[in-house]
């Protein structure tokens, strides 16, 4: 997490102040109740001074904002309103919100069969990521849930971008990236299906079949499972050298 204003960093250094700010940012333009802040900061073991200490962290954030943008603007950004506190402002200034908006636009463009525009929008969304979600913040259970949600949306954005690139015929270019994605997400059958498809469409049918066998062994050893039916059908198409151009994309949907 990083707070930037006019090229200067204003990120709080105290861990719990960072935690407080992260939770407020995750619910921008909403009021975060004091009990929710206490739960995020201390879980099931809050100190007796939890309310007072939380107020101290809010005070520290106000001082940080005052130094960055001035007292008047800080008062507009960080508000006190029963039953808690809230951050007001343009959500597009929060990378996570901009990422969600751009991903949704990319998805909509792909649905409209405009893959070139979809790729540009999705690349813009993914470029906002510089590492794991909320790196540098010791998350409690509320921020942990938010972090998991962001990572899932990130995975969906990658899948949508791969799908758009495939529609544009960029199969050979995608092979190295898909190999990395398969290594990073070994149990994600969607990535395996796209790798196999891209290998076949690049004239590398043997490598595609080898990729299928690697997945089959992995699923058997790790989970005692066989590849899903769409992947089994994809293997059969490769064996007969009649791979359907849409078999992997049509039968292995990206989660909504």
By the 8 A CB rule, do 69 and 61 touch? Answer: no
pTM for this prediction: 0.89
Q: Is the domain of 189 the same as that of 225?
A: yes
Domain count, the chain: 3
Q: Is the domain of 97 the same as that of 164?
A: yes
Helices (H), 78-204: 95-111, 115-126, 141-167, 171-184, 189-201
- In a 13 Å sphere around the CA of 11, the CA atoms on its Cβ side amount to 15
> Which of 53, 72, 89 delimits the end of a domain?
89
Q: Is the domain of 182 the same as that of 226?
A: yes
Per-residue pLDDT of the chain (256 residues; tens, 9 = 90+): 889 998 899 999 999 999 999 999 999 999 999 999 999 999 999 999 999 999 999 999 999 999 999 999 999 999 999 999 999 989 888 999 999 999 999 999 999 999 999 999 999 999 999 999 998 898 999 999 999 999 999 999 999 999 999 999 999 999 999 999 999 999 999 999 999 999 999 999 999 999 999 999 999 999 999 999 999 999 998 888 765 555 544 445 555 4
Q: 148: domain range?
A: 91-168
């Amino acid at each position: 997490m990083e707070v930037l204003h006019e090229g200067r960093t204003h990120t709080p250094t105290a861990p719990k102040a960072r935690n407080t700010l992260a939770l407020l940012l995750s619910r921008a333009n909403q009021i975060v109740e004091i009990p929710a802040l206490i739960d995020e900061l201390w879980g099931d073991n809050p100190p007796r001074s939890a309310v007072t200490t939380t107020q101290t962290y809010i005070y520290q954030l106000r001082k940080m904002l005052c130094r960055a943008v001035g007292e008047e603007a800080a008062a507009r950004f960080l508000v006190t309103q029963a039953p808690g506190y809230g951050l007001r402002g343009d959500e597009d200034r929060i990378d996570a919100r901009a990422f969600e908006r751009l991903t949704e636009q990319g998805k909509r463009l792909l649905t409209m069969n405009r893959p070139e525009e979809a790729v540009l929008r999705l690349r813009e969304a993914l470029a906002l990521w510089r590492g794991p979600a909320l790196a540098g913040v010791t998350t409690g259970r509320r921020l942990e849930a938010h972090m998991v949600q962001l990572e899932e949306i990130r995975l969906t954005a990658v899948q949508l971008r791969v799908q758009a690139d495939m529609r544009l015929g960029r199969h050979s270019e995608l092979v190295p990236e898909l190999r990395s994605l398969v290594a990073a997400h070994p149990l994600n059958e969607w990535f395996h299906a796209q790798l196999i498809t891209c290998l076949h469409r690049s004239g590398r049918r043997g490598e595609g079949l080898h990729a299928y066998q690697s997945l089959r062994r992995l699923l058997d050893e790790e989970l005692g499972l066989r590849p899903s039916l769409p992947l089994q059908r994809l293997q059969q198409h490769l064996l007969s050298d009649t791979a359907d151009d849409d078999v992997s994309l049509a039968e292995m949907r990206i989660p909504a």
